[in-house]
């Protein structure tokens, strides 16, 4: 989603942010097992250990998008932050088919495949989360100087939750976002307005200074 001449509905912006959050939660729960055994993943246990981080992330996402209570209620509607089973097919969905669809994905012998799905899914969801946060900020007429700090902190927390907080992880997500998302927005014939392209470009510059100097 990009920002064009038509106003983007607030709830659509919120859904773009809270959608990737589901991948972060489920991937984090699987990674927390230490074994990549999907059957041992517990969303409830993972949430109990990361409640403060999740709460802080939600505060930052609300501030970034300047979301109303109605938009924030989408989090409950999607049920990512309620206890629910994690399955190999859902991990495959987050990873957009990195593995072949097979009933054996949840077998213990497929732990390498599960790890691959989790790592690929985390890369994709975190990149899309960053894109959604920047888009929401741009749509809300927020400047990069005003909101890049919130976005950078939110990304750091999401990386931790997805078990991808290794050194330079934030810089890696930033570079994936810059190469995968920005070109289609910044090209002259994109559906973004000139003001929108200028805003995204500004976010790219300020976030680079903060995340990948």
Residues in the chain: 213
Q: 56: which 2 tokens?
A: 């802080």
How confident is the model over 113-123, as pLDDT tens digits?
899 999 999 99
Specify whether the CB–CB gap between 108 and 34 falls below 8 A: no
Cα separation, 8 vs 196, in Å, equals 12
State residue 150's pLDDT score.
97
- Mean pLDDT, range 182-186, rounded to an integer: 95
What pLDDT, on the 0 to 100 scale, is given for residue 97?
87
pTM over 0.85: yes
pLDDT digits 0-9 by tens, 85-139: 999 889 999 999 888 877 676 665 578 889 999 999 999 999 999 999 999 999 9
Residue 8 scores a pLDDT above 90: no
Q: CA-CA distance, 63 to 125, in Å (whole number)?
A: 20
């Amino acid at each position: 989603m990009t920002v064009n001449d038509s106003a983007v509905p607030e709830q659509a912006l919120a859904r773009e942010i809270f959608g990737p959050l589901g991948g972060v939660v489920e991937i984090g729960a699987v990674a927390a097992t230490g074994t990549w055994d999907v059957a041992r993943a517990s969303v409830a246990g993972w949430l109990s250990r990361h409640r403060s981080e999740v709460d802080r992330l939600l505060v930052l996402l609300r501030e970034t998008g300047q979301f109303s209570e109605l938009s924030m209620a989408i989090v409950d509607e999607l049920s990512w932050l309620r206890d629910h089973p994690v399955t190999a097919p859902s991990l495959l969905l987050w990873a957009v088919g990195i593995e072949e669809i097979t009933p054996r994905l949840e077998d213990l012998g497929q732990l390498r495949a599960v790890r691959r799905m989790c790592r690929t899914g985390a890369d994709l969801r975190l990149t899309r989360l960053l894109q959604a946060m920047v888009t929401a900020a741009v749509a809300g007429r927020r400047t990069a100087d005003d909101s890049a700090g919130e976005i950078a902190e939110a990304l750091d927390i999401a990386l931790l939750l997805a078990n991808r907080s290794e050194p330079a992880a934030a810089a890696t997500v930033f570079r994936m976002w810059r190469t995968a998302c920005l070109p289609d927005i910044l090209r002259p014939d994109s559906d973004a307005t000139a003001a929108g392209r200028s805003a995204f470009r500004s976010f790219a510059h300020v976030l680079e200074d903060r995340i990948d100097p």
